[in-house]
Amino acid sequence: MNNKVLQLKYADIYRKDKLILDDVNFEINTGEFYFLIGKVGSGKTSLIKTLYGELPLLKGTCQINDFQVHQIEKNKIPFLRRKIGIVFQDFQLLEELTVYQNLKTALKATGTNKTSKINKRIEEVLQDVNLMEKVHSFPHQLSGGEQQRVVIARAILNKPSLILADEPTGNLDPDSSLMIIDIFRKLQSEGTAILMATHNYSLLKTPNTKIVKIENQKLIIEKPQEIEFFID
């Protein structure tokens, strides 16, 4: 039986004082991979930001693992984010640090200080994303696809049960996009749940994935054959 990693009940999603999503009831179980689609401005990013505590949930409930996100205090949000892998479109790597230093900084921020543990985990995640040979490179020396793979490596350092990815292939070429999806599918096979916002509908044919669409302020579970392909 699958375990619930994420559960939203009767949730209203706001951006400032504007209602973006109304009465959301949605859950993700261990090892499920959902693509999140919708037109520009429909609320994909607002939903993801609400899930990791960037935007407050003012109505309804949200549970991620053991965290009640709707009740979470500000000083507890970093602990929530340690249980979630967050992947952004714009990388957000520290340009003055090497790949190793970026990952080491992230690990130390979550309380890992022993050098042997740090080195072991960095080697593991870089192998997961096929990037060990770039361990001492700086971000500007990497392609966009390689930078995004570093971001994924950073996101999985703490072995999260859930990855939230906001347009992670938005700035990438088709080959790099498929490589990112392959990495996500490997993580999915290991039990990680994934919610990935995308406007690249060619990815929606990825096997063993599901689709949830935002339309008219509602979150709708879609069947692949019912998707309307519109420009996002």
Q: Which residues pair with 67 in a beta bridge?
A: 64
For the stretch 105-110, contacts whose Cβ atoms lie closer than 8 Å and that sit 24 or more positions apart, written own/partner, are 106/154, 106/157, 107/157, 110/82, 110/157, 110/158
Q: With 50 as the cut, is the pLDDT of residue 137 above it?
A: yes
Question: What pLDDT is recorded for position 227?
Answer: 53
Provide mean pLDDT across the span 6-20: 94
| pLDDT interval class at 231 (50, 70, 90) | very low
Tokens encoding 113: 């200080």
Question: What pLDDT is recorded for position 67?
Answer: 93
- Where does residue 125 rank: exposed (0-12), middle (13-18), buried (19+ CB within 10 A)? buried
Please write the tens of the pLDDT for every residue from 54-102.
999 989 999 999 899 999 999 999 889 888 999 987 778 999 999 999 9
Provide mean pLDDT across the span 35-51: 93
Question: What pLDDT is recorded for position 222?
Answer: 83
Concatenated DSSP letters of 166-206: ESTTTTS-HHHHHHHHHHHHHHHHTT-EEEEE-S-GGGGG-
Tokens encoding 163: 């990855």
Q: With 50 as the cut, is the pLDDT of residue 230 above it?
A: no
Question: What pLDDT is recorded for position 14?
Answer: 93
Question: What pLDDT is recorded for position 6?
Answer: 97
| pLDDT interval class at 228 (50, 70, 90) | low
Please write the tens of the pLDDT for every residue from 145-202.
999 999 999 999 999 999 999 999 988 899 999 999 999 999 999 999 999 999 999 9
* Residue ranges per structural domain of the chain: 1-83+161-232, 91-159
Report the chain's mean pLDDT, rounded to a whole number: 91
| pLDDT interval class at 1 (50, 70, 90) | very low
- Fold entry, domain 1-83+161-232: Rossmann fold (3.40.50)
Q: With 50 as the cut, is the pLDDT of residue 4 above it?
A: yes
| pLDDT interval class at 223 (50, 70, 90) | low
> Measured between alpha carbons, how far is 71 from 74 in angstroms, rounded to an integer?
10
